[in-house]
Structure 1
Amino acid sequence: MRDYEMWQAFGPEIWTVDGPVVTAAAGFHYPTRMAIIRLGGGDLVIWSPVALTPQLRGEVEMLGNVRYLVAPNTLHDSFIADWHRAYPVAQVLAAPGLREKRADLRLGADLGNTTVPGWTGEIEIVLVRGNRITTEAVAFHRPSGTVIFTDLLQQFPPGWFKGWRALVARLDLMVADEPSVPRKFRVAFSDKRAARAALRHILAWRADKVLMAHGTPITRGGHAYLKRTFAWLGKW
């Protein structure tokens, strides 16, 4: 039996791994999920790494060479150091802001709105700026038609939270019928013009699938789903 919850193929050259539950601020429990993308040359991109275990490491190495470790926002960096110790030649890429938070990490270039060398034609990036909580890097894996979010889209199953946390989660739109932008992120957008610009870029990808760290993945109709779930932003 694996010492993590679920490993599955999500499309051509992309896999997801659901890791252990972690405890965040105020005792809220979050499931964890990472994406693994295998590039054309066999190198692997580990997007938002979950806890590294010996068995997970062995199975990852069966897919290819770990070449990139990605922290797509300043909230998903807990396990980056462990992975970098295991794969010291891997390049650590991070969203803006993590460099100031984690001086202990040996970071490569910050993620931006340009393609990382070696990802051309396979993975594109856009930064969703203007949010006081975090700047999030959103990726598009072209071979599988998948847009990859981290925290900007969330959904928890009924009964996941108990007591007062259940009430907070409901008010925060964290337990909606489909993944949505939590209310705290919506009100934290101090620059909606920047958010709309990023969304226009994301919608231009015409995604079929949408993946997020906390929520049920969208496996069809991704473009229509994104237009629907970001309608609160207004005209873009």
Structure 2
Amino acid sequence: MSTTMSTTTPNPSLVIRTVAPNITTFSVPFLRYNKFKFGGRATLVRLATGSLAIFSPIPLSPDVSSTISNLGGNLRYIVAPDIEHHMQLGPYKTAYPTATVIGPEGLREKRAKQGDQDVPFDYEFTRANKHELKLPEELAREFEIEYWDGHSNKELVFLHKPSRTLIEADLLFNLPAREQYSKTGEDPTKGVFNKLMLHFTNTKPGHKGQQRFIWYAMMRDKASFDESAKRVAAWNFDRIIPCHGDVIETGGNEVFRRLFAWHL
């Protein structure tokens, strides 16, 4: 573990919450395309061994750093769950140089093209190896993983088996981002652009907007996408932690099956 402290200034809008035993979320406001109030979220999981894994890391502010320290400080895994949620890999790898980095194919090349800090990937999931590449043993004891290579963002989706929690990035959204904007004084539902985006990113029963968004905007390979959907639907989960929007505290499998019904 590195003794390097946090790399950014405090974030007064950060919401830190214990969602379940051994699961902590860091929720922040975030504007997509500088218009849509999407919100952002990192998820920190403490394994039975005491090691920590962070998914979709947000900026390493003093509060994030101290939370990691208070949970033992052994941040052993840094996960970029798709080709969009990777911006903070460099700062985390610098602060925790012995951590194992996990991500999907294409991200290494994207980061190089953008001039991002070079971060070696220890586990890189690809279309060819997705069923053969195994997680490190201590992670595999507590997590299932499915690589959605048929998804436009190349999603890595995780099931934390002890808490029956699905951890994902852009597989599905649950807007409005009420928790993520709760300290800002801003209403995440207000504004023309937000109202438009909410049509495609809510999880209300009977509403087809997000179903259509997934079908037309997020699916690149239907056969592979359908296969991944069926695998995840078979998992035993109740909670869903998305990167964008509120945590689905219960009934997550039902929500998933409704949104991905056309793929099941």
Q: What is aligned with 2:249?
A: 219
Any gaps of 5 or more consecutive residues in structure 1?
none
Q: Is the 8 A contact 1:3 1:55 kept in 2?
A: no
Q: What is aligned with 1:56?
A: 64
Please state if 1:126 is matched with 2:155.
Answer: no
Match of 1:177 among 171, 179, 204: 204
Q: What is aligned with 1:109?
A: 123
Residues 78 and 161 of structure 1: CA distance in aligned 2, closer, same or farther (over 3 Å): farther
Q: Summarize the alignment of residues 193-204 of structure 1 with structure 2, pairs less than 5 Å apart.
A: 193-204=223-234
Q: What is aligned with 1:28?
A: 36
Per the TM alignment, residue 175 of structure 1 is displaced from its structure 2 partner at its CA by 4.0
Query: What RMSD over aligned residues (CA atoms) do the two structures have, in Å?
Result: 2.5
Relative to structure 2, which stretch is displaced further, 185-194 or 39-48?
A: 185-194
What CA distance in whole angstroms lies between the structure 1 residues aligned with 2:231 and 2:203?
25
The DSSP-based 3-state class of the residue aligned with 1:69 is strand
Match of 1:7 among 13, 16, 30: 16
Q: What is aligned with 2:193?
A: 165
Match of 2:83 among 69, 74, 79: 74
| CA shift digits 1:95-139 (9 cap, x unpaired) | 2221111132222221344441131220111011213x3110000
Q: Larger relative CO (CA 8 A, sep 6+): 1 or 2?
A: 2
Q: What is aligned with 1:94?
A: 103
| CA shift digits 1:12-60 (9 cap, x unpaired) | 32121113x2343364343111111111211100000011112220121
Q: What is aligned with 2:7?
A: none
Residues 2 and 99 of structure 1: CA distance in aligned 2, closer, same or farther (over 3 Å): closer
Q: What is aligned with 2:182?
A: none
Relative to structure 2, which stretch is displaced further, 134-143 or 182-191?
A: 182-191
Residues 81 and 110 of structure 1: CA distance in aligned 2, closer, same or farther (over 3 Å): same
| CA shift digits 1:188-231 (9 cap, x unpaired) | 31322111111111122121211101122222222222111211
Between the aligned residues of both structures, percent identity stands at 30
What CA distance in whole angstroms lies between the structure 2 residues aligned with 1:5 and 1:74?
24
The DSSP-based 3-state class of the residue aligned with 1:110 is strand
Residues 184 and 204 of structure 1: CA distance in aligned 2, closer, same or farther (over 3 Å): closer
Q: Is the 8 A contact 2:147 2:154 kept in 1?
A: yes
Per the TM alignment, residue 183 of structure 1 is displaced from its structure 2 partner at its CA by 4.4
Q: What is aligned with 1:187?
A: 216
TM-score by length of 2: 0.78
Q: Residue 122 of structure 1 aligns to which amino acid in structure 2?
A: E
TM-score by length of 1: 0.87
The DSSP-based 3-state class of the residue aligned with 1:85 is helix
